[in-house]
Amino acid sequence: LDSFRPDAQFQDTSWQDRQSHLANIELQYRNKEGSINSRLDYQVASELQSSREQVYVFIGNNLGNFRFDSTLAEYVPDPLGDFVLVLRQTGEFESVIRLEAGWQLQFRPKPITTIASTFRKTLSRFSGSSYIKVEEQSREDNIWDIYLLNLSKFHNAASSLRGVYLLNQDLYYNERNPDWGVLLRSRYRDNISNQFIASSNNETRIIWERLLQVRKRFFKRKLNVTAEYTNNFNKRFVSASPTRNRNVLSQGIAGKFNFRPTVSWQFQLDIERGFELDRNSNSQLEVNVWDIRPQISWSLRGKARATANTTFIQVQEVANPFSLPIPFELGKGKKIGNSWLWNLRFEYFISANVTINANYSGSDDAGALRTIHLGKAEVRAFF
């Protein structure tokens, strides 16, 4: 990896920034009851920035976090991949304005213990949090347009190197109640990347994740059950490579079960059924997904701990009028067919200072040429 790091002797050190600006403002508010917390962060600065190059470096089988997908002709994330991503900077720098501004608001009313109306008690069960953030790295000549949050100058392909709009919203009912509750969640992110030398690496991506979750405890709190409905939107636009454009709408229903009959044993089961559609007119892909994840955990206090889990993902092709390969954004990154992933982990504590760890994992992905097995054991001593 050292060969991909920037070398100062080849960089232009004669260029100097003619102006420098820096501001950092933090404001925080909390009411007397502690039910409302608000925080505002605002940072601006001028800095030197250079164009970057994405380089994928092979570091060994199953040691990286990216793999090359030959059917898509691109590198995609994979926890058992063979490559790591290195961002290599060029030696030519330019002055840019960097802004980060965020506002967070949390509302958690205290439980009402005195006599009150039903409406007031119901209202006191609602809580939530909101978070808004704006990031921008811009070449804009008029710095005040950036400083004063003139959003019409943000996310501009001609002047923006990088930009992010982030909007998170959580609304709870019965958040403090351990037996049951409801959650409405929204995660919106609009991101533009325009700092790479290769134009095919510059893109605009919008991701909007929406969730409805209901949780309930049974059998004296030994069994926790969670039901979820998700509705997600994932849009990617690459002007230099239209074939990589995506407009994916996905929906899913899921159930999560966590059963702990004794202190030593715990059983978990996650089941999800997904329906995904790429609405891009050039692809019109549609797939259905089953995602099943059982897990068993056992522990002996102060002596040993063991966990066994497996993941089964089945991707079913519903529509593919142009006979295209399944992109990474569909089917949880898997190919058509059945994919398996499993893991066994064991820890034994000989003493407070000596521990034995053993771990075995494997994967058998749909479309893969072979099954992957990984094993590791180690002894740790602390002095």
> Residue 250: pLDDT band by 50, 70, 90 thresholds?
very high
pTM exceeds 0.75: yes
Q: pLDDT at position 9, please? A: 45
By the 8 A CB rule, do 296 and 309 touch?
yes
Choose between 299 and 111: higher pLDDT: 299
In the predicted structure, residue 242 carries a pLDDT above the cut 60: yes
79-83, 217-221, 298-302, 364-368, range with the lowest pLDDT: 79-83
Report the pLDDT value the prediction gives residue 166, as an integer from 0 to 100.
96
What's the whole-number mean pLDDT along residues 303-319? 95
pLDDT value at residue 60: 81
The residue among 205 and 117 whose pLDDT is bigger is 205
Answer whether residue 292 shows pLDDT above 80: yes
**Across 126-148, average pLDDT:** 92
pLDDT tens track for 15-50: 444 556 788 999 999 998 889 999 999 999 888 777
Q: How confident is the model at residue 164 (pLDDT cuts 50, 70, 90)?
A: very high
Token pair for residue 353?
Answer: 């200072």
pLDDT of residue 215 exceeding 60, the answer is: yes
Using pLDDT thresholds of 50, 70 and 90, give the confidence band for residue 206.
very high
Neighbours of 244 (CB within 10 A): 17
Residue 1 has pLDDT above 80, yes or no: no
Asked if residue 311 has pLDDT above 80, the reply is: yes
Give exposure, 346-360, as e/b (b: 16+ Cβ within 10 Å).
Answer: bbeeeeeeeeeeeee
Specify the pLDDT at position 320.
92
Nearest residue to 311 (alpha-carbon basis) of 145, 80, 148, 82? 80
Helix or strand holding residue 122 (H, E)? helix 118-124
Q: Which of 5-14, 73-82, 281-290, 333-342 has the lowest mean pLDDT?
A: 5-14
pLDDT of 12 higher than 50: no
**pLDDT over 80 at 323, yes or no:** yes
Section 53-63 average pLDDT: 83
Q: With 50 as the cut, is the pLDDT of residue 118 above it? A: yes
3-state DSSP assignment of residue 217 = strand
30, 106 in Cβ contact below 8 A? no
158 vs 116, residue with greater confidence: 158
Query: Which pLDDT does position 227 carry in this prediction?
Result: 98
Work out the pLDDT band at 194, boundaries 50, 70, 90. Answer: confident
Per-residue confidence (pLDDT) for residue 14, from 0 to 100: 45
Q: Hey, what are 372's tokens?
A: 């992957």
> Which residue spans within the chain are E strands per DSSP?
22-30, 36-58, 64-69, 74-81, 83-107, 126-138, 160-173, 180-193, 203-218, 223-237, 246-259, 265-278, 286-300, 304-319, 337-349, 354-364, 372-381
CB 257 within 8 A of CB 282: no
Q: Mean pLDDT across the stretch 138-159?
A: 88
The yes-or-no verdict on residue 333 having pLDDT over 90 is no
Segment 341-365 shows an average pLDDT of 92
Return d(Cα 192, Cα 76) in angstroms, integer.
19
